[in-house]
Every structure is written in structure tokens, then in C-alpha cells.
Amino acid sequence: MDKDLLGKTALVTGAASGIGKAVALLYGQHGANVMLSDVDETQGQQVTEQLNAGGADARFFKADIGDPIQCQQLVQETVSAFGSLDIACNNAGIGGEMNLTADYSLEGWQHIINVNLNSVFFCLKYELDVMLGQGAGVIVNMASILSQVGTPVRQGT
């Protein structure tokens, strides 16, 4: 595989599984240094070890990206570990409660908004600060199909 990202640093949120894991693995296979982040430390460390075993320089930083302070720390740790931030893939997302609107908990709603919406802003804020200071960078914001369609839930039969 071409090492077209050699010397670049990539940050991937939601990197412990699914699309985030696949993105992190591809960045590593293409030669990038990779900072993986997720709330699932066990799975995140396993993906990090898989990348390192394949010859990439990868690190893991546990962060709840629904918290702006943890987003700032994640970006700072990435730059501290690798010296730059060239690529950011804001991929983390969660599913919510499968409840009717009237039955949806306020805590559940706030959690899904923090992870699926606010976190993108939080990450962008700190990623852009670094990238603008460097003069360049690439950011990819991911969303699931549920950002465009709803899921029908019927009450009773």
C-alpha cells in the first residue's frame, strides 16, 4: 500500500470499532501517525496495538468528546505526541433510546446531543485552532444515516 500519508498525523474519534476503527487502520496503513480516541478504552487499546503491530505509530487517548475540555485535551495530546495535527476524522456517534418522544429521558436526550452534535463543534474548535496555526489540515465530519432519516417506533399494537 502507498505510504502517501507518511509523516502526517491523523486523529480519529470513535476509533474503537466500526467505521472509526476502519478509518484509523487505513490511515495507519497509508503511513500516518494515528491518535485513536473513544470511551471504550479496552477496544481502543486493541485497535492501537493492531496498528502498531502493522508498523504504524499509534496512540490511544480515552475521551468523552461530549465534553469540551476532553476534546481540547485530546487535540493537545495529539500534538504533544506527534508534533502536528494534519487530519481529523470526527466520527464518534451513538444511538439513543428507542422511546417515544414523550417517554424519552432528558438525560438521554442531552447525552445524544452532546455526543452526536456538540462534540463535532467541540472537536472542530480545537482542531481548527491547531490547523490554522500550522497553515493547513483536513477535517472529515462523519454522520450516520440517522442524521437524515427517522426510525419509526409504534406504541402498542
The cell for 8 is: 502526517
| Contact status, residue 89 vs residue 142, Cβ threshold 8 Å | yes
Superfamily (CATH) of domain 9-111+118-147: NAD(P)-binding Rossmann-like Domain (3.40.50.720)
How far apart are alpha carbons 137 and 18 in whole angstroms? 24
- Helix/strand/coil for 56: coil
Residue 154: pLDDT above 60? yes
Report the phi/psi class of residue 53: left, alpha or beta, with left for phi > 0 and alpha for psi in -120 to 50: alpha
Q: How much is the pLDDT for 24?
A: 98
Predicted confidence at residue 156, as pLDDT, reads 60
116-129 pLDDT per residue, tens: 999 999 999 999 99
**Residue 6 above 90 pLDDT?**
yes
Lowest mean pLDDT among 43-52, 70-79, 100-109, 119-128: 100-109
d(C-alpha 144, C-alpha 93), whole Å: 8
> If residue 112 lies in a helix (H) or strand (E), which one and from where to where?
helix 106-113
9-13/58-62 β-pairing: unpaired
Q: Are 96 and 150 in contact (CB under 8 A)?
A: no
Task: Quote the pLDDT of residue 34.
Answer: 98
The whole-number pLDDT of residue 95 equals: 87
pLDDT average, residue stretch 82-107:
94
Q: What is the pLDDT of residue 98?
A: 86
* pLDDT (0 to 100) of residue 96: 87
Task: Tell me what the mean pLDDT of segment 27-39 comes to.
Answer: 98
CB atoms within 10 A of CB 84: 17
Q: How many Cα atoms sit within 13 Å of 2 on the Cβ side? A: 2
Helix (H) or strand (E) holding 23, with range, is helix 18-29
Distance (Å, rounded) from C-alpha 12 to C-alpha 65? 11
